[in-house]
Amino acid sequence: MFLKEQNMNNESSVSDFLLLEFSDIWDWQIMCFIGFLVFYLAAVVGNLLIISAVASDHHLHTPMYFFLMNLAMQDVGQVSVIIPKAMTNTLMNCRHISYSGCVAQVLFFVSFTVSDFSLLTVMAYDRYVAICSPLLYQNVMNKQACIQTITIVWIFSFFYGVLHTGGTFASPFCSNVVNQFFCEIPALLKLACSDLYLFEIGLVFFGCFVGIGCSIFIVVTYVHIFSAVLRMPSAQGRQKAFSTCVPHLMVLFLFLFSGFFAYLKPTSNSNSPLNLAFAMIYFMVPPLMNPVIYSMRNRDIKDALSKMLGLQSSSSCVFSILFMQKCKHKHNQS
């Protein structure tokens, strides 16, 4: 018994962890690095463009775009917590991550994920008020209310991340081999040597119930939104509303399904490709899809991006030159 406790204490004082490697073949490692790099640049550039467009155009200083800008900030943080380390390990043929680095990954990944989902819920409510109660919108979603909402989201998300991080690393670890390419909570809990990990499991289930409650709230909200949209006399307005809401719900359900699977699936010590696939989906797809769904389909954002990048002036100049050449050609013919 004494030897067992001594062994546990020695093994729990790990200074680093070994993450899951994608392949031991150099060519496949290069392919993984390129794939991560392309995704990371696409997600970061897309979200940074949204942040810059909203910040630079005073026409977009409204509650809807204020929440959208914060959502883009959360998405940049979420992918930056994991992808750079994964790219470094893949390129350097290394599996190591320090203990403090693993703690930081868990803390910030949980915080950004929770704040991302919280903002999706807030944005659904914002659309509900704007479409179903337009006369009350200015009073309900005023500047002070928006700032207070964002502050609450940030504080609550960070506090929730601290709770998860403390619950995950409170238990001593019997091994430092993590069966995932980043410090994921379910993979870390499999390494626990004591019953202290039950507190973290309780937090996970509590978070899942809260997530289900928020999902039900979003679904009910969009049912009311769709009902109001169907009563709109304009066919163009109905099409615009549906084209925005339906993709939003698809990404939301994809995020929830993959996340719930990763946290609620039966524990297993084997390396399953399905575990890797679901982990990549629930942390990679939403940050990449959110700019497309909420921005690239929005005319106001398109106009702001065109103005910021100088595309409108360039197009106007090209059109003017072509028009003058055409007029000059007609004049010469006459």
Looking at per-residue pLDDT, the higher value among 41 and 267 belongs to 41
Both tokens assigned to 290: 């959110």
Residue 91 has pLDDT above 50, yes or no: yes
Both tokens assigned to 223: 């049912």
Say if CB 214 and CB 123 are below 8 A apart. Answer: no
Residue with tokens 């060519």: 27
Flag the least confident range among 71-75, 115-119, 218-222, 326-330. Answer: 326-330
Looking at residue 211, what is its pLDDT?
81
Say what percent of the chain tops pLDDT 70: 77
Q: How confident is the model at residue 311 (pLDDT cuts 50, 70, 90)?
A: low
Residue type, 65: Y
Residue with tokens 């150099």: 26
**For 154-168, b where at least 16 C-beta lie within 10 A, e where not — what string?**
beebbebbebbbebb
Both tokens assigned to 94: 């290394």
Residue 313 has pLDDT above 60, yes or no: no
Ramachandran assignment for 93, one of left (phi > 0), alpha (psi -120 to 50 degrees), beta (any other): left
Say what percent of the chain tops pLDDT 90: 19
Mind listing the pLDDT tens digit for each residue in 137-166? Answer: 888 889 899 999 999 999 999 999 999 898
Query: Per-residue pLDDT averaged across 109-128, rounded?
Result: 89
Looking at residue 162, what is its pLDDT?
93
Looking at per-residue pLDDT, the higher value among 267 and 296 belongs to 296
Gap between the Cα atoms of 296 and 161, Å rounded: 31
Of the candidates 79, 54, 72, the residue with the CA atom closest to the CA atom of residue 119: 72
Backbone angles phi, psi at 123, to 5 degrees: -65, -35
Backbone angles phi, psi at 200, to 5 degrees: -65, -40
Looking at residue 77, what is its pLDDT?
92
Mind listing the pLDDT tens digit for each residue in 163-212? Answer: 989 888 888 888 888 888 888 888 888 888 877 767 777 887 888 788 88
Backbone angles phi, psi at 17, to 5 degrees: -125, 155
Residue with tokens 């398109």: 302
Q: How confident is the model at residue 251 (pLDDT cuts 50, 70, 90)?
A: low
Query: Per-residue pLDDT averaged across 70-95, rounded?
Result: 89
Looking at residue 314, what is its pLDDT?
46
Looking at per-residue pLDDT, the higher value among 156 and 237 belongs to 156
Mind listing the pLDDT tens digit for each residue in 10-68? Answer: 444 667 888 887 777 778 888 888 988 999 999 999 899 889 888 888 888 888 889 98
Looking at residue 277, what is its pLDDT?
72
Looking at residue 318, what is its pLDDT?
43
Q: Residue 295 carries which DSSP code?
A: I
Q: Residue 191 carries which DSSP code?
A: T
Q: How confident is the model at residue 288 (pLDDT cuts 50, 70, 90)?
A: confident
CA distances from 16 to 12, 100, 268 (A): 11, 8, 22
Residue 105 has pLDDT above 90, yes or no: yes
